[in-house]
Amino acid sequence: MSVHSLAYLVIGARDLAAWTSYAESVVGLMRGDSGQENVLHYRMDHRSFRFRIEAGEADKLIATGLECASRADWDKSLSSLKNAGVAVEVASAAEAKARGFHDLFRCVDPAGNPLEIGWGHIVSGTPFISPQAVDGFITLDGDNDMGFGHAVLPAPNIDETRAFYVDLLGFANSDEMRVYLQGGPDDPGIGMHFLHAGSPRHHVIGLAQFPNPSGLVHTMVEVATLDEVGIALDRALAAGTHISSTLGKHTNDKMVSFYMRTPGGFDIEYGCGGIRPDWSNFTPTFTIKEDLWGHVWDFGQ
């Protein structure tokens, strides 16, 4: 398995103040030190950042940061992409360090989603303390990093994009879903593909067969208890944050979560209890009912 986990997101933002308020008062993330005036770093664990918010002209995802567990896996990913004719740009040592990695390269998937892939993470050295007293975000499996969550990316050309992740980066199928919003016998449904990497997260990358102007459909953060999820929902309601989905439990990863809109236009799924399958003994699923209960959507504007 070449890629291991989701390390971070880099997000372009027109309104840094809106992000400051949202990240600290609603999500409960800790402000880190980006070293730059127009860049916010937000932490959720021992790492120097998991969300990097850069002031810019558009609210748009700049990069999904993926992590390889070793130099060998990173080399394998890089050569696999090069051999397939994918344009890759190896970052300078300084650029990699700014992302918290020893080495880093950039590429773009067939749906146009920008990726950064690194290995050798640099530990922050300062403890995580949430401004909202969140006990902690789940980013470890035992002592092992399993990334901060998952990202669901827009991929209208879903088959081609899925092949990129599976054939070139070593992802594998966890669940293939079809969502039938119209209903009736002629509704072809919309594809949602969920792919796991080396970490035990049920999926690290999800692909949605539709475009999204923010560049990201949603990203998931996980906390330890249902109480932490409910308290976060209370914070979101108090702040007037748009609740995109009520509490619910997903069929595929069993995550109990709600979804809320970020200042970036995409959603954060805030959940607990996601399963961690044993990949040596796992049968992928095909889902046509997304939820065991709940998750009533309000897509808003």
C-beta of 124 vs 251, nearer to Fe ion: 251
Q: Which part of the chain contacts Fe ion (CB under 5 A), choosing from 17-25, 171-179, 189-197, 264-272? A: 264-272
C-beta of 41 vs 203, nearer to Fe ion: 203
C-beta of 26 vs 221, nearer to Fe ion: 221
267 binds Fe ion (CB under 5 A): no
- The residue count of the chain comes to 301
Task: Determine phi and psi for 32, rounding to 5 degrees.
Answer: -100, -170
Contacts with Fe ion by CB under 5 A: the residue count is 2
Nearest to 19 by CA among 2, 3, 34: 34
C-beta of 59 vs 269, nearer to Fe ion: 269
Residue 168 CA, chain-centre distance (Å), reads: 19
Instruction: Return the half-sphere exposure (C-beta side, CA atoms, 13 A cut-off) of residue 18.
Output: 14
Q: Which part of the chain contacts Fe ion (CB under 5 A), choosing from 19-27, 68-76, 105-113, 261-269? A: 261-269
The answer to whether 204 and 153 have CB atoms below 8 angstroms apart is no
CB of 117 to Fe ion, least distance (A): 21
Window 36 to 65, contacts with Fe ion (CB under 5 A):
none
Instruction: Please compute Rg for the chain using Cα positions.
Output: 18
Cα angle: 77, vertex 83, 85; to 5 degrees: 105
Q: First CA to last CA across the chain, in angstroms?
A: 39
Task: Record the tokens describing residue 171, joined without a space.
Answer: 């992802």
CB of 137 to Fe ion, least distance (A): 15
Residue ranges of the alpha helices (H) in the chain? 16-21, 71-83, 93-98, 158-163, 169, 226-238
Task: Record the tokens describing residue 26, joined without a space.
Answer: 């609603």
CB of 257 to Fe ion, least distance (A): 7
C-beta of 145 vs 269, nearer to Fe ion: 269
269 binds Fe ion (CB under 5 A): yes
Window 197 to 226, contacts with Fe ion (CB under 5 A):
220
CB of 99 to Fe ion, least distance (A): 23
CB of 223 to Fe ion, least distance (A): 14
Alpha-carbon distance of 268 to 27, in angstroms, equals: 9
C-beta of 2 vs 257, nearer to Fe ion: 257
247 binds Fe ion (CB under 5 A): no
C-beta of 164 vs 259, nearer to Fe ion: 259
Residue ranges that bind Fe ion, judged by CB under 5 A: 220, 269
